[in-house]
Structures are given as structure tokens and as C-alpha cells.
């Protein structure tokens, strides 16, 4: 079987063969999409200022644990904004979507050591369908800030499950989770993969790909940046917590290294999850 995993270098691009693999498997994994210097830039933005982390809210996993989540609507001009707008994130996403895209949301997901909660099996479109995005012309880009391994609750996927279409979703704890009877049947057909990743790797995955992640029982922090893109032609039917079509001005990849804005998050417009009908907040 041909692997859907690639190593990034300056010559890498989303070719027809790469797009074919994405369409077949529901994802592609690009190792080293962000290099060490670029990861350091992202960490400096997140760790030296509380401008993003102070907007995090707790989401229950239905048990005794929770993860923290900060979501914003627009890229802004800080380092994380340059990541979202870069050619190797936004540009690759547009090629996988098959046309112009825009940032639908970006979020920092935080599973703290020994306490971080699990994320239930779900499809991102299980959430976004409720926001009246009519077509599953959407994807997410999962970029670890820290190592993501089984010990600290790495991402798990059911390869090829996006071809099953949208599965019914219900509220479980503070999350929107997929119908587990359906998931268990899909597990019999679609390989269950643990996607272990290093900081700067990137998983581009279809909005109908079933995925989850376990609890963090380790002493390792697990922070992840997730950029979501919607195709411009898939403008949501009604206004809600996330953006209608908003033109995305892409930047060259060098903008990530060149950016020296680590603290000014004006223009990002953080989401108050208490107003989001797809999750329930534990605390602010």
C-alpha cells in the first residue's frame, strides 16, 4: 500500500497523486511542515504571552476530565496567523479542497499533564453540519506544538472513514460525539491508526474522517494548533459563531520566521464557547 505520509522540503507540493491519496484515505501526513525555528516562533507566541491561552475554556469529556480549548475566528497578524495564512498551510489546503478556501476557525487544544481529558470519536463535520455548512468541503490541519504520542493522548483516526459520509452525532459530556454503534461497525472496515507526531508535523484531514484522542496520563504536556478551512463556495447558510466567507490573504512561508508579533492578537475575535451549541463549557 502506498503511504499517505510525506517529508516536507521546499520542493514538496500537492500533486495529483498526493490529492488522490488524500481523497482515498481521508488524510495526508506531512512530517516537518514547520521546521524547528518556526515551531519555536509558535511556542514563543503561546508561552511568553497569555493573549491566547487566557481565552481557553474547559470542555468535559463526559467523565472527570477536561481539555482546554481556545478558538478564534480570524487569523490576525501574530505568528499563529502567519502559520494559518502561509502557502504551506492555506495554499496546500486549497489544493486539497479543490478551490479557494478561507479560515473557518483556528484553535489551541491543551491537554495538560496527568489531567487532560479525552476527545470522543467524532467528525468535524458532525459539528459544522449543525452550523449549516451544506457540503463537507472542509478540512482541518493538525499541527502539534508538543510531541503527540499514545502516552499523552495522540490523535487516533479510522483511515478511509470519511467515505462513510456524515454519521449522526449526539452531545456527550461537553462534546459532540459520533453514534458509537455506527463507529464500532466502521472500525471493522476502516483501519484504526494512532497518529504519533513530532512538533511541526502536520496532518491534513477531511472533515468527515472519524477521529478521537485519549486522556493524558503522562507528565508530558500536549498542545496542538488546529487550523480549519472551508471552501469559499460552501458559505454557511446562516450567520453563527464562526465566519461566513472571508477572503484569506495568503503570505509566503518565510512570513512565519519573519514575524515578530508574539503578543498582539487584535483581529482574531475569540469565540466564547458558552454561545456555541456544539459544546458545553465546564469553566472559563
Domains, the chain:
5-275 (2.60.120.620)
Residue 278's pLDDT band, with cuts at 50, 70 and 90, is: low
pLDDT at 7: 98
Q: In the structure grid, which three cell numbers stand for residue 65, read together?
A: 476530565
Degrees, nearest 5: CA angle 277-283-284: 90
pLDDT mean over 165-189: 86
pLDDT at 176: 74
Percent of the chain with pLDDT over 90: 79
pLDDT in tens, 89-136: 999 999 999 999 999 999 999 999 988 878 889 999 998 998 999 999
pLDDT in tens, 229-264: 999 999 999 998 999 999 999 999 999 999 999 999
| Per-residue exposure over 74-113, b if at least 16 CB sit within 10 Å of its own CB, e if not | bbbbbbbbbbbbbebbbbbbbbbbeeebbbbbbbbbbbbe
State yes or no: pLDDT of 281 exceeds 90: no
- Give the residue carrying C-alpha cell 483581529: 267
Pairing of strands 27-31, 5-7: parallel
Look over the chain and give the mean of its residue pLDDT values, rounded to a whole number: 92
pLDDT at 284: 41
Residue 83's pLDDT band, with cuts at 50, 70 and 90, is: very high
pLDDT at 170: 80
pLDDT mean over 28-55: 95
State yes or no: pLDDT of 282 exceeds 60: no
DSSP 8-state code for residue 87: I
State yes or no: pLDDT of 188 exceeds 80: yes
Name the residue among 106, 48, 111, 81 with its Cα closest to residue 225: 106
Q: Which ranges of 86-128 would DSSP assign to H, the alpha helix?
A: 92-97, 124-128
State yes or no: pLDDT of 86 exceeds 60: yes
Name the residue among 142, 154, 153 with its Cα closest to residue 117: 153
State yes or no: pLDDT of 33 exceeds 90: yes
Q: In the structure grid, which three cell numbers stand for residue 270, read together?
A: 475569540
Amino acid at each position: 500500500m502506498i503511504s499517505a505520509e510525506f517529508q516536507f522540503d521546499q520542493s514538496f507540493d500537492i500533486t495529483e497523486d498526493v490529492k488522490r491519496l488524500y481523497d482515498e484515505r481521508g488524510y495526508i501526513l506531512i512530517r516537518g511542515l514547520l521546521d524547528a525555528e518556526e515551531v519555536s516562533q509558535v511556542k514563543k507566541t503561546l508561552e511568553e504571552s497569555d493573549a491566547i491561552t487566557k481565552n481557553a475554556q474547559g470542555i468535559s469529556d463526559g467523565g472527570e476530565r477536561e481539555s482546554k480549548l481556545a478558538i478564534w475566528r480570524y487569523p490576525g497578524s501574530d505568528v499563529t496567523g502567519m502559520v494559518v495564512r502561509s502557502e504551506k498551510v492555506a495554499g496546500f489546503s486549497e489544493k486539497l479542497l479543490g478551490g479557494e478556501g478561507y479560515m473557518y476557525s483556528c484553535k489551541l487544544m491543551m491537554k495538560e499533564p496527568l489531567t487532560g481529558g479525552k476527545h470522543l470519536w467524532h467528525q468535524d463535520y458532525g459539528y459544522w453540519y449543525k452550523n449549516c455548512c451544506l457540503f463537507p468541503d472542509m478540512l482541518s490541519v493538525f499541527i502539534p506544538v508538543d510531541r503527540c504520542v499514545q502516552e499523552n493522548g495522540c490523535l487516533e483516526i479510522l483511515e478511509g472513514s470519511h467515505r462513510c459520509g456524515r454519521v449522526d452525532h449526539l452531545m456527550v459530556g461537553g462534546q459532540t460525539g459520533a453514534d458509537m454503534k455506527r463507529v464500532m461497525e466502521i472500525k471493522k472496515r476502516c483501519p484504526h491508526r494512532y497518529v504519533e507526531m513530532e512538533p511541526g508535523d502536520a496532518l491534513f484531514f477531511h472533515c468527515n474522517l472519524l477521529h478521537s484522542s485519549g486522556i493524558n496520563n503522562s507528565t508530558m504536556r500536549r498542545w496542538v494548533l488546529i487550523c480549519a478551512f472551508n471552501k469559499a463556495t460552501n458559505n454557511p447558510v446562516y450567520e453563527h459563531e464562526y465566519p461566513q466567507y472571508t477572503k484569506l490573504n495568503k503570505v509566503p512561508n518565510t512570513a512565519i520566521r519573519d514575524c515578530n508579533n508574539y503578543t498582539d492578537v487584535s483581529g482574531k475575535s475569540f469565540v466564547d464557547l458558552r454561545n456555541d451549541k456544539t459544546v458545553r463549557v465546564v469553566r472559563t
